[in-house]
Structure 1
Amino acid sequence: MSPAALPIRIEDPDDERIAGFRQIREKDLVQRQGRFIAEGTVVLSLLAESHANDGDFGAEALLVLENRLAGLEPVLAKFPADVPLYVASRPVMNAIAGFDIHRGVLAIGMRRRHPDAKTVLAHLPAGALVVVAGGISNHDNIGSIFRNAAVFGADAVLLDETCCDPLYRKAIRVSVGTVFKLPFVLGGSHHDLIASLNEAGFSLYGLSPQGQVDIRQIRPTGRMALLTGAEGEGLPAEILNSIQTARIPQAPGVDSLNAATATGIALFAIASAMGRL
């Protein structure tokens, strides 16, 4: 571990050095210029790993509650000394952020690289598993999909242009920082992503309550892609008609599963069939 930066005490919430941390709720609703807010010890640790290993994500500054500084030393030591470390009391930190920061640790991060789908797919192994999502506008679902993808050993996540940004603060928090571990793409249409997957030799399965096969009966191929759609509407009919489809058996008289939950169950089945678990 490299020595962390020396703490810089902040007494004034209007101090320009911590302007990037100010009113962070509102900053999720406006142009963030490629930056994001990460919060929590586990999330910060994964961001530190990406920063140290020249990953796609790095940290620009840290803001820590004064009474949490000592306990966070192992995590903070993962960041190089050129990442400023600001320390504040609870009243000052809450005034900066605009609400009560329970976790007491924040970071301003930056995505260093923005690879497209073809680039991400080209760097995956021969036996890759990819999650593809379209129309997911709920930050909890996006974060949970990333967490499920990481837990069940997926190699990448592709999100179409109608999905919300996985680098929203809440999505990062729900993902428990796994958004920093998995290569991902946000952009393009579902059709564009499917074309890239077909070109890269993936077998595609779309989740649908009326799927052609039970998810447990899928026979794995070398490269597999699981497609999931928006809450309620699911995948568009033209997409389902162009690919293989799979269903998750469920008790009669019950509505379909939550998008993130369904994705997790299906990933478990496919990853197990591929011998990845």
Structure 2
Amino acid sequence: MPEPILLDDPDDPRLAPYRAMRERDLVGRQGRFIVEGEVTLRLLFSEGARFRAESVLLAPERWPGLAPFFQEDGPQEDGPQEDGPPVYLAGRDVMSAVTGFPVHRGVLAVGLRGPEPQPDALIPPAPAPALVLGLVGLTNHDNVGGLFRNAAAFGADAVLLDAATCDPLYRKAIRVSAGAALTVPFARAASGIALLDLAERHALIPLALTPGGGEALETLEPPPRALLLLGTEGPGLPEAVMDRARRVRIAMAPGFDSLNVATSGAIALHRLAGERLGRA
């Protein structure tokens, strides 16, 4: 890895990908995305990450602690090597002027999306066990980020999103996922129906999580190959999707039937993970 490059001009063209970050979160970055914070930076460079970094931007005071990570013979076995991306150093005033808001962590990087995988390519072939999370119509980045974090925690093989679900590489979604959006395989399908068609092709049992489900999650025998389907809070999953799936509910106190979708997903994934977590 070359020596870091000190930049003191907010208008330096090398800082262009970091400019006006909040506004560009909404309109896209032409195949790029932003990560912030040391945890997500390390995951971007980890062996399990499916993306690569285009550049790194650090506050100068963060460099001494992170320098070993960027050295070829440093302590991080999965760290960047000599041919890695450039590392820029800029004062927090410069970073804030470029991004449009105070950068408290002093750690940013630009990632490159690369080609999008096909959903079928992410499903373990039958008859091997498989646990896939399907998201239908989720437009809240906090929930999507939380669900990616849950998927990583409980060993899901992949997350599949319909066309209406928001981008897991949105900056806030990556942060809420604790970087799991950089490591958990994901792909898009056209719709919830397309997810069900995929489940049929790959011998996955579709499970629709809904308060009105006929089966209780706590008594469900986890299928060896499952597609867990989650819908947006409020409307939930479309009836056309639930009609082709087993409807499963989480038991709650009488008179209350509402859980945050990320919380519901965590409970269901924990149940379905079964032997993956060393449980009988």
Provide TM-score, normalisation by structure 2: 0.92
1:235 paired residue number: 237
- Secondary structure of the residue aligned to 1:191 is helix
Query: For this pair of structures, how many residues does the alignment match?
Result: 271
1:79 paired residue number: 80
1:59 to 53, 58, 74: 53
Output aligned runs, 1:247-266, within 5 Å: 247-266=249-268
Q: C-alpha offsets along residues 32-76 of structure 1, whole Å, 9 cap, x if unaligned?
A: 1111000111101110015xx7x5200000000011111122433
- Secondary structure of the residue aligned to 2:150 is helix
2: CA distance, partners of 1:75 / 1:31: 29
Instruction: Give 1:239 deviation, angstroms.
Output: 1.2
Q: Cα 1:125–1:110, aligned 2, differ >3 Å: closer, same or farther?
A: farther
Work out whether 1:20 is the aligned partner of 2:17: yes
Q: C-alpha offsets along residues 122-172 of structure 1, whole Å, 9 cap, x if unaligned?
A: 568811111001010000000000000110111100010000000000000
Work out whether 1:40 is the aligned partner of 2:37: yes
CA contact (8 A) 2:125 2:202 kept: no
Letter of the 2:69 counterpart: V
1: CA distance, partners of 2:258 / 2:13: 49
Identify unmatched segments of 5+ residues in structure 2.
72-78
* Two-structure CA RMSD over aligned residues (Å): 1.7
Instruction: Give 1:225 deviation, angstroms.
Output: 1.3
Instruction: Give 1:19 deviation, angstroms.
Output: 0.7
2:76 paired residue number: none
Instruction: Give 1:222 deviation, angstroms.
Output: 2.5
Q: Cα 1:76–1:27, aligned 2, differ >3 Å: closer, same or farther?
A: farther
2: CA distance, partners of 1:205 / 1:273: 18
- Secondary structure of the residue aligned to 1:108 is strand
Q: C-alpha offsets along residues 2-22 of structure 1, whole Å, 9 cap, x if unaligned?
A: xx3311001100001111111
2: CA distance, partners of 1:181 / 1:123: 20
Output aligned runs, 1:67-146, within 5 Å: 67-77=61-71, 78-81=79-82, 82-121=84-123, 126-146=128-148
Identify unmatched segments of 5+ residues in structure 1.
none
2: CA distance, partners of 1:270 / 1:32: 36
Instruction: Give 1:234 deviation, angstroms.
Output: 0.7
1: CA distance, partners of 2:172 / 2:277: 32
CA contact (8 A) 1:41 1:75 kept: no
- Secondary structure of the residue aligned to 2:53 is strand
Provide TM-score, normalisation by structure 1: 0.93
CA contact (8 A) 1:155 1:183 kept: yes
1:172 to 174, 177, 191: 174
Work out whether 1:31 is the aligned partner of 2:31: no
Instruction: Give 1:117 deviation, angstroms.
Output: 1.1
Letter of the 1:61 counterpart: S
Q: C-alpha offsets along residues 154-201 of structure 1, whole Å, 9 cap, x if unaligned?
A: 110001000000000000000011111111012411111110111101
Work out whether 1:269 is the aligned partner of 2:271: yes
Letter of the 1:116 counterpart: Q
- Secondary structure of the residue aligned to 1:113 is coil
